[in-house]
């Protein structure tokens, strides 16, 4: 650590809960890892301490400061939670795992779209895996969320973000006990990022202060190279990608279903558009 080797080459305790690197599992670890898988499937407590972990970030061109640390494809594709080092780690502030906690580093512009209200774009090229910004807002309880919706003072489809990533990992954490981030009245530029069924960004959970199942950062990363000036979008429902033929067939079926008549229509214009925002 003193030679700035970095936590990607060490057994860093900050990655205790991070995704396991199955490729580097030693034979003595395999039985314990299988036990962990069984515990996870049955909803039991998770214990990953001591197993080799996947480091979340890498640099496109090592040693070249023009390129930022980017999120590994393993995390981008599987949506694993991201764990960064914190102030108690011996690695120091220059550790390569400290990305989201340092805040936004790219210039964003809020602009008026032609048919979807406000939108957000970046003023420089983004590369796949590059961190963009976090989603900010009031952290409120689920009960307070329900109260605001009942009073009719809140647009649910636009600004509410439930912190429910870890529901099922702990018996005390349910959809009713999760916190919700409300960005309607206060927040940052990401509150204006529009939905798209074929997005160029994706949201991930990031923890670096402690492993708190109820509180963590919501961070947006580019999932493909994005030319500057391109509108940034993400999938509000965070669905897995479908084949084009399947997506079109399902959209036509939804549009023909009378039960969807009153639902919010999606106007993202993507080839694989699902037709409705919350389906």
Residue 188 covered by a domain = no
Would the pLDDT of 20 be above 90? no
Residues 6 or more apart whose CB falls under 8 angstroms from that of 135 comprise 161, 181, 183, 187, 188, 190, 191, 203, 218, 219, 220
Residue 270 covered by a domain = yes
pLDDT, average across residues 199-228: 92
Q: For 109, which DSSP code? A: E
Would the pLDDT of 272 be above 90? yes
Q: What is the mean pLDDT of the chain?
A: 84
CA 274 to chain centre: 21
Closest CA to 200 of 225, 179, 219: 225
Residue 193 covered by a domain = no
pLDDT, average across residues 243-263: 89
Band (3; pLDDT cuts 50, 70, 90):
very low
Residues 6 or more apart whose CB falls under 8 angstroms from that of 75 comprise 19, 54, 56, 82, 204
Band (21; pLDDT cuts 50, 70, 90):
confident
pTM for the structure as a whole: 0.86
Structural domain including 277 reads 243-279
Q: Which residues are catalytic?
A: 135, 236
Residue 268 covered by a domain = yes
Beta strand residue intervals within the chain, DSSP E? 57-59, 69-71, 82-83, 108-112, 118-122, 131-134, 138-141, 160-162, 179-182, 194-195, 201-207, 217-222, 233-234
Residue 264 covered by a domain = yes
Tens-place pLDDT, residues 31-83 = 666 666 666 666 555 566 667 778 899 877 655 666 788 999 889 988 889 99
3-state secondary structure of 3: coil
Q: What pLDDT is recorded for position 91?
A: 79
Q: What pLDDT is recorded for position 235?
A: 93
DSSP per-residue letters across 44-100: -----TTS-B---EEESSTT-TTS-EEE-HHHHHHT--EE---TTSTT-TT-TT-SG
Q: For 120, which DSSP code? A: E
Band (100; pLDDT cuts 50, 70, 90):
very high
pLDDT, average across residues 158-168: 87
Q: What pLDDT is recorded for position 33?
A: 65
Please indicate whether residue 210 or residue 227 has the higher confidence score (pLDDT).
227
Would the pLDDT of 161 be above 80? yes
Residue 106 covered by a domain = no
Band (105; pLDDT cuts 50, 70, 90):
very high
Tens-place pLDDT, residues 5-16 = 557 656 677 888
Residue 259 covered by a domain = yes
Residue 271 covered by a domain = yes
Q: What pLDDT is recorded for position 40?
A: 61
pLDDT, average across residues 115-128: 94
Domain count of the chain?
1
């Amino acid at each position: 650590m003193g030679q700035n080797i970095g936590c990607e080459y060490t057994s860093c305790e900050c990655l205790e809960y991070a995704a396991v690197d199955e490729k580097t599992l030693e034979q003595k670890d395999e039985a314990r890892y299988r036990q962990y898988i069984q515990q996870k499937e049955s909803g039991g407590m998770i214990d990953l301490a001591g197993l080799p972990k996947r480091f979340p970030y890498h640099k496109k061109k090592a040693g070249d400061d023009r390129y930022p640390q980017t999120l590994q494809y393993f995390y981008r594709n599987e949506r694993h939670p991201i764990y960064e080092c914190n102030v108690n780690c011996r690695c120091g502030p220059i550790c390569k795992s400290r990305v989201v906690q340092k805040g936004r580093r790219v210039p964003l512009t809020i602009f008026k779209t032609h048919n979807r209200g406000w939108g957000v774009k970046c003023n420089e090229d983004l590369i796949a895996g590059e961190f963009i910004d976090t989603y900010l807002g009031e952290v409120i309880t689920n009960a307070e969320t329900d109260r605001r919706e009942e009073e009719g003072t809140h647009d649910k489809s636009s600004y509410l973000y439930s912190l429910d990533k870890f529901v099922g990992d702990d018996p005390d954490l349910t959809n009713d006990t999760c916190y919700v981030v409300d960005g309607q009245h206060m927040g940052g530029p990401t509150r204006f990022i529009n939905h798209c069924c074929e997005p160029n960004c994706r949201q991930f959970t990031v923890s670096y202060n402690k492993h708190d199942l109820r509180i963590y950062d919501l961070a947006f990363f580019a999932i493909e190279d994005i030319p500057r000036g391109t509108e940034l979008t993400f999938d509000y429902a965070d669905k897995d990608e479908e084949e084009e033929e399947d997506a079109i067939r399902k959209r036509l079926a939804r549009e023909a279903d009378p039960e969807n008549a009153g639902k919010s229509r999606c106007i993202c214009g993507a080839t694989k558009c699902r037709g409705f925002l919350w389906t």
